[in-house]
Structure 1
C-alpha cells in the first residue's frame, strides 16, 4: 500500500495496521476498555438459547447452573491470561505464539485458529439469517427464500464493513452495541418471565457425573475457549504500564457477565418448556422469539442481529490477522475482506443447501476444540514461564531467539490432540458420520461402548459424552510445557 493510499485510508478511520508491532504512540488503551468488545460480543440472546444445549445432557437445573457459572468464568479467565501476551508483545495472538512454537512452527496452530474463527463467524451469520426468516414469518412478512437472501447479504455486509474498518471503529461500535443489545435483552427477560414454571424446572432429574462434566466442557468450549485464540488481539493496544491483573479482570468480567446471566435465565425458560428446549436445536434465536408479543418481534430481531454481528466482527477481524500471520501478503483490510467472502459463501451454502447445521457444527467445534485447548495450555504455560516482554523483532525473524520451529511445543500439541481426540466423541453420529472415528480410546479404557445401530449410531456409558479429551489436552499441554520448556524460555530471555 503506498504512503498516500495509507494516509487516505487512515483519514477515513480504517485501521491499516496488520500483524506488525503497534507503535508506542498508538498504545493508549487502558484495561477497562477491554470490557466493551468482550461484553458486546457475548450479550447476544444466543446465550439464552445455549441453555437448551446444556440441558440436552439431561442434568438438573442446579447442576446446569453450577456448570454455567464455573464453565463460563473459567473459560474467560483463560482468555484474560492470554490477553496479557498482547500487552507484553503489542502483536496479534497468533504472532505472539511464535515465541512458543517458532516463527515458522506457529503456522501449525495458526491454521487451527483460522479455521475456528471462520467457523464461529459463519455460525453467527447463519443464526442471524435464520432468525430473520423465522421472525418475518411470525410477523406475516414472508420469511421464505427471498427474505433469507436479503438477510444473508445484509448481515454479511455489516460484518465485513466493520471488520475491514478495524480496531478503532470496532471499539466505538462495540460500546454502542453494548447498550442497544443490553437494553433489548433486559426487555426480553421482562416480557418472557411469565413463561418460567419453577415446578417444571425443579422437576428436571439430576444427571450423572459424566453428564455434568460433558456440559461443563461444552460451556467452556462454546464460550471462552471459542475466543481464546484471539484474546490478545484486543489487548495489544494496551499501555505498557497497564496492570496484568487488571487486564485479566476486565477481560474476564466483560466476557463472562452476560453469558452467566443469560444462560441461567435460559435454563429457567428451557427447563419450563420442553417444546422450546427442542426447538432451540434447529433455530435458536427464532425459537426464543416464539414466546414474545408481536409488537416486540421487530426490535428483538434488530437487537439479536446486532449482537450476533458484534460477535462475528471480532471473529472475522482476528481471522484476517491470523491469515496474515500464516504468510499471506496482503493489507489487513483486504485479509478481512477475503474472510468475509468465505463467510458469505459458507452462510449461503448452509442456509440454502444443508439439511442441518447445528449438529455438524457442534461436532466440528469439539473437533477443533481439542487442538485449540492444547494450544491454550502451551501458550498459558509459556506466559507463566516468561518474566520479560517479548523480543518484538525476533517474532518476525526465524533466525532470532525464538527460532524457526519449536519441536517440543509442536510435538506436545500433536500428542495431546491425538490423545484428546481419543477421549471425545461425535455427539451427532448420524448427522456428522465423518467424525465417528473419535473416541477410539474410550472402549480400551472401559469408559464407553460404541453401538452402530442402523437407526442411528450412539455411545453407551456415562463418560463418552463428557468429552474429557478437551480437558486432557488443556491440562496435559500446560504441565508438559512447564516441565519441558523452562530452560528454553530462560535461554530465549537471556539471548543465549
Structure 2
C-alpha cells in the first residue's frame, strides 16, 4: 500500500523513488509547475499586505522582492536533492533526522501543505461568492444588501474548488504536470488582461503618499514576503525535481526553480503596491476578502474571466500542495494509497475552510499567524536540510547516502530543529487571539506591542540558529 505518484515510482522502506530508467527531462521543465502554482491574483493581495505593515511604496517593493528571492532560493537549493536521490523532499529528510526522528519535520510539512490548501481554497470561495453576488444578486446576494454573498454561495464556491483539487490530486504527477502547463498559459492570459484593464485606473500621482516605516517594519516586510512565498514551498522542493536524471547540474535545478517561483509574484507584487498607493481603502478590504476587493473596480463583463483566473490560480497552488502532502503522509509511515490520502486531505481542508469562513473573526489575522508559526518550523527544518546538501555537494547521485538506510534517529538534527523552533516561536507575535498565547513568550510586553514584535523576527532567527546548532552537534557527535 503506497501513495505512488506514477507507474515509474518504486517503493523502498516507505519511500517512493523514481528509478534511473524513468528519469528524463531538463531543469527548464521545473519552470512550469512553480510558475503555475504562484501565478495567482492573490499575488496582488500579497503586495497590499506588505504595504499594510506601514511601508512606503518603494520600501514595500524592495522588501517584497528581497523576501521572495531569498525564500525561493531556499526552495531551489532544496530541489537539488531530488535528482540525486530520486526521492521526495521529506523522504530525503531522513538522512539528517533519521527514520523515526524525521516524523517531527514531516508532521510540520504535512500541516503546512494542508494549511496552504485550506487557505487557497478559502480564498477561492470568498472571491467566487463575491463575484457571484455581484453578477446574480437575486440568487447569490443577501436580501437588502445587494452585494454581500449568501452562505450558500460561499459554500458552493468552496465545494467546487475543493472538489477540483481533490480530483486532479488523485491522478498523481503526470496529470498534474499537464494540468499545470495548461493552467499557466490560461491564467497568464487572463492575468495580463486584468492588468491591462486596471492600469488606467491606477493613480500613480499618489505613489509618494505612503509614509515609510522604520527598520523593524521593513524587516517585517521581508519576513512576511518570505512566509507568503518560498517558506511555504521549501518542503516540496525535491518532489518535482526528482524526475530529472541524477547527474543534472545543481545550478540549473536551483535556477529554474527560483525563476519559475518568483517571476509572476514579482510582477503581481508591483501591481499590488501601486493599487494600494492609489486606493488606501483597498488594504482594509483586501484583509477581509482579497479576491473580491480586487474585483471592485472591474467592469461587469470581465467578472467571469476574472473569477476563472482567480479560481484557476488557487486550484493550481492547492494541487501542488495536495500532491506533496501525500508524500509527507507516506514519509510519516502511514501506509495509505494516493486516493485515500487525498480524501483525508479533503476532509481536513473542509474543516479548516469552515473555521476560516464561518468562525474566525479575521481571515488575515489567522492567515498571518499560520504563516509565522509554520514559517518558523519550516525555516528551522530547511536550515538543517541544507547543511546536509552542502555536506554532500560535489557527489553524484550514486554516492549520495540512500534515504532508506538512514539511522533510526538523527539526534543532532532533531535537537537543532526543536531548539531553533522554540526560540523562533518565542520571537513572533499573532493578532489571532486563539493563537497569540502560544507565541511571543521570549518578548517583553512592550516588545510584543511594538514594531519589533510585529516584525516576526523568529522566522529569520530560526534559519541561522538551526544551521549553526546542527553543524556544531554533528561535529561533536562525529568526534565521539
Match of 2:329 in 1: 323
Does 2:128 align with 1:124? no
Q: 1:327 to 1:390 in 2, by over 3 A?
A: farther
Match of 1:197 in 2: 203
Does 2:417 align with 1:413? yes
Partner Cα distance (1:14, 1:394) in 2: 18
Does 2:478 align with 1:481? no
Q: Report the alpha carbon displacement of residue 476 of structure 1 after superposing the two structures with TM.
A: 1.3
Out of 10, 14, 21, the residue aligned to residue 17 of structure 2 is 21
Does 2:465 align with 1:470? no
Match of 1:32 in 2: 28
Match of 1:260 in 2: 266
Partner Cα distance (2:414, 2:323) in 1: 26
Instruction: For residue 485 of structure 1, give the secondary structure of its aligned residue in structure 2.
Output: helix
Q: Report the alpha carbon displacement of residue 410 of structure 1 after superposing the two structures with TM.
A: 0.7
Q: Which runs of 5+ in 1 are unaligned?
A: 451-458, 492-496
Out of 461, 464, 473, the residue aligned to residue 450 of structure 2 is 461
Partner Cα distance (1:317, 1:391) in 2: 28
Which residues in structure 2 correspond to 1:259-278 (within 5 Å)? Answer: 259-278=265-284
Partner Cα distance (2:380, 2:422) in 1: 10
Q: After superposition, what is the alpha-carbon deviation per residue over 1:276-329, rounded to whole angstroms, capped at 9, x for unaligned? A: 121000101111011111100000001110110000000011011101111110
Match of 1:51 in 2: 47
Q: After superposition, what is the alpha-carbon deviation per residue over 1:385-428, rounded to whole angstroms, capped at 9, x for unaligned? A: 114347788523xxx4x3100111111111111111121111x1
Partner Cα distance (1:41, 1:487) in 2: 41
359-368 or 273-282, which deviates more: 359-368
Match of 2:144 in 1: none
Match of 2:78 in 1: 82
**Would you say the 8 A contact 1:80–1:251 is kept in 2?**
yes
Which residues in structure 2 correspond to 1:173-212 (within 5 Å)? Answer: 173-212=179-218
Q: After superposition, what is the alpha-carbon deviation per residue over 1:465-493, rounded to whole angstroms, capped at 9, x for unaligned? A: 111111110111122333432587899xx
Q: Report the alpha carbon displacement of residue 363 of structure 1 after superposing the two structures with TM.
A: 0.8
Which residues in structure 2 correspond to 1:228-307 (within 5 Å)? Answer: 228-307=234-313
Partner Cα distance (2:84, 2:370) in 1: 32
**Would you say the 8 A contact 1:49–1:266 is kept in 2?**
yes
Question: What is the aligned residue count?
Answer: 465
For normalisation by structure 2, the TM-score amounts to: 0.92
Q: Report the alpha carbon displacement of residue 124 of structure 1 after superposing the two structures with TM.
A: 0.2
434-443 or 385-394, which deviates more: 385-394
381-390 or 281-290, which deviates more: 381-390
Match of 2:145 in 1: none
Partner Cα distance (1:347, 1:16) in 2: 34
Q: Report the alpha carbon displacement of residue 354 of structure 1 after superposing the two structures with TM.
A: 3.9
94-103 or 332-341, which deviates more: 332-341
Q: Which runs of 5+ in 2 are unaligned?
A: 141-148
Match of 2:156 in 1: 150
Partner Cα distance (2:357, 2:207) in 1: 33
138-147 or 105-114, which deviates more: 138-147
Partner Cα distance (1:46, 1:61) in 2: 18
Match of 1:221 in 2: 227
Q: 1:151 to 1:227 in 2, by over 3 A?
A: same
Out of 351, 375, 380, the residue aligned to residue 374 of structure 1 is 380
Q: Report the alpha carbon displacement of residue 103 of structure 1 after superposing the two structures with TM.
A: 1.1
Q: Report the alpha carbon displacement of residue 14 of structure 1 after superposing the two structures with TM.
A: 11
Partner Cα distance (1:461, 1:358) in 2: 19
Instruction: For residue 288 of structure 2, give the secondary structure of its aligned residue in structure 1.
Output: coil
Instruction: For residue 20 of structure 1, give the secondary structure of its aligned residue in structure 2.
Output: strand
Q: Report the alpha carbon displacement of residue 361 of structure 1 after superposing the two structures with TM.
A: 2.3
**Would you say the 8 A contact 1:84–1:247 is kept in 2?**
yes
Q: 1:437 to 1:325 in 2, by over 3 A?
A: closer
Does 2:433 align with 1:432? yes
Instruction: For residue 334 of structure 2, give the secondary structure of its aligned residue in structure 1.
Output: coil
Q: 1:51 to 1:490 in 2, by over 3 A?
A: farther
Match of 1:456 in 2: none
Q: After superposition, what is the alpha-carbon deviation per residue over 1:211-244, rounded to whole angstroms, capped at 9, x for unaligned? A: 0001100000110011111111111111123111
Partner Cα distance (1:71, 1:313) in 2: 24
Partner Cα distance (2:452, 2:153) in 1: 43
Q: Which runs of 4+ in 1 moved over 4 A?
A: 13-18, 390-394, 486-491
Match of 1:69 in 2: 65
Partner Cα distance (1:267, 1:201) in 2: 9
Does 2:396 align with 1:395? no
Out of 344, 353, 362, the residue aligned to residue 347 of structure 1 is 353
Match of 1:449 in 2: 446
Q: Report the alpha carbon displacement of residue 149 of structure 1 after superposing the two structures with TM.
A: 2.3
Instruction: For residue 24 of structure 2, give the secondary structure of its aligned residue in structure 1.
Output: coil
Q: After superposition, what is the alpha-carbon deviation per residue over 1:425-459, rounded to whole angstroms, capped at 9, x for unaligned? A: 11x1xx3243234222232xxxx616xxxxxxxx4
Partner Cα distance (1:368, 1:345) in 2: 18
Q: 1:187 to 1:111 in 2, by over 3 A?
A: same
174-183 or 22-31, which deviates more: 22-31
